[in-house]
């Protein structure tokens, strides 16, 4: 049955804090407006900003449903409504965030960032896999598995059965892709750092833009990859382990919701007008210098 007059399923799904859901819903609506506006203005980078717009739209919708379910007892009894929100949160959105992060590394590795430099053959495994459609195909497959991983009503009327093979398959695929993205980010950072040091020693020209700023931008990308890894490691544990316990908002918000919105915030900085971007980037450079990097 889709609706029970006696059971509110919000708590078994981990939906409890109305304030947190409201804050995230508002933030994602604003972020969607930002990225969709950037996409309309800069169609050259549609493959970056259109997935980000989609991700923000999905997250905004999911958090709005979360608000409604938490705030309305009658809505909380609609099992199908909570299943829809759960699929939006755990099934279909993350590839739309991981793909732009992957493309960002590909652009840096190929020397094509912002379309100013020629390809120097440094794209690497992740670039080849992206170019030939393997990674996009894997992400589509993960999305389909995630959408098919629908929670079921348990024999216990106050519990939900989250165990299903499609959800696990989706989590495993996305975890592998996230690890691959992180490994290539480390490779990017090492290659960039080596070229910066070489340029400082010999004053040779390189196909890349070689500067300390480039090096520090790579450190920022490493932070983004770390956030994606934290997110996906927890999401995989969520799919493979005791889902009901891991959906506790005291764990879910720090390890799922917060890393996602921090990654999106990074792309907001990247998409800023140059003057604003330079101001933020200078602060990041000062921070990394203070850390001794």
Residue 36 confidence (pLDDT) above 60? yes
For the chain, the average pLDDT equals 77
pLDDT, tens digit, 9 for 90 and up, residues 41-59: 765 667 778 889 999 999 9
Q: Which two tokens stand for residue 20?
A: 């947190």
Q: Which two tokens stand for residue 45?
A: 């980078």
Residues 6+ apart with CB under 8 A from 216: 281, 284, 285, 288, 289, 293
pLDDT, residue 214, reads 59
Task: Tell which residue, 255, 115, 126, 124, has the closest CA to residue 178.
Answer: 126
Q: Select the more confidently predicted residue: 199 or 265.
A: 265
Please compute Rg for the chain using Cα positions.
21
pLDDT, residue 200, reads 58
Residues 287 and 289: their CA atoms lie apart, in Å, by: 5
Residue 116 confidence (pLDDT) above 50? no
pLDDT, residue 70, reads 92
Q: Kindly report whether the global pTM for this prediction surpasses the value 0.85.
A: no
Contact 14, 3 (CB under 8 A): no
């Amino acid at each position: 049955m889709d609706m029970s007059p006696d059971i509110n399923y919000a708590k078994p799904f981990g939906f409890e804090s109305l304030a947190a859901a409201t804050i995230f819903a508002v933030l994602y609506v604003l972020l969607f407006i930002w990225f969709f506006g950037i996409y309309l203005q800069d169609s050259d980078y549609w493959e970056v900003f259109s997935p980000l717009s989609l991700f923000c739209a999905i997250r905004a919708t999911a958090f709005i449903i979360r608000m409604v379910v938490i705030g309305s007892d009658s809505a909380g009894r609609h099992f199908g409504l909570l299943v829809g929100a759960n699929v939006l949160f755990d099934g279909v959105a993350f590839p739309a965030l991981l793909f732009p992060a992957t493309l960002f590394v590909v652009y840096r590795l190929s020397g094509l960032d912002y379309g100013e430099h020629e390809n120097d053959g440094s794209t690497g495994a992740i670039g080849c896999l992206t170019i030939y459609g393997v990674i996009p195909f894997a992400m589509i497959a993960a999305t389909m598995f995630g959408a098919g991983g629908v929670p079921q009503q348990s024999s216990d009327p106050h519990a939900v059965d989250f165990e299903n093979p499609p959800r696990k398959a989706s989590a495993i695929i996305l975890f592998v892709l996230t690890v691959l993205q992180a490994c290539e980010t480390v490779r990017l950072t090492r290659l960039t750092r080596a070229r910066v040091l070489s340029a400082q020693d010999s004053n040779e020209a390189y196909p890349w833009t070689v500067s300390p700023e480039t090096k520090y931008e790579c450190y920022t990308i490493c932070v983004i990859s770390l956030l994606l890894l934290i997110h996906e490691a927890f999401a995989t544990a969520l799919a493979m382990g005791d889902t009901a316990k891991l959906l506790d908002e005291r764990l879910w918000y720090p390890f799922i919701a917060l890393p996602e919105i921090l990654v999106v915030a990074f792309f907001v900085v990247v998409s800023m007008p140059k003057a604003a971007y330079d101001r933020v980037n200078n602060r990041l450079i000062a921070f990394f210098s203070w850390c001794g990097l």
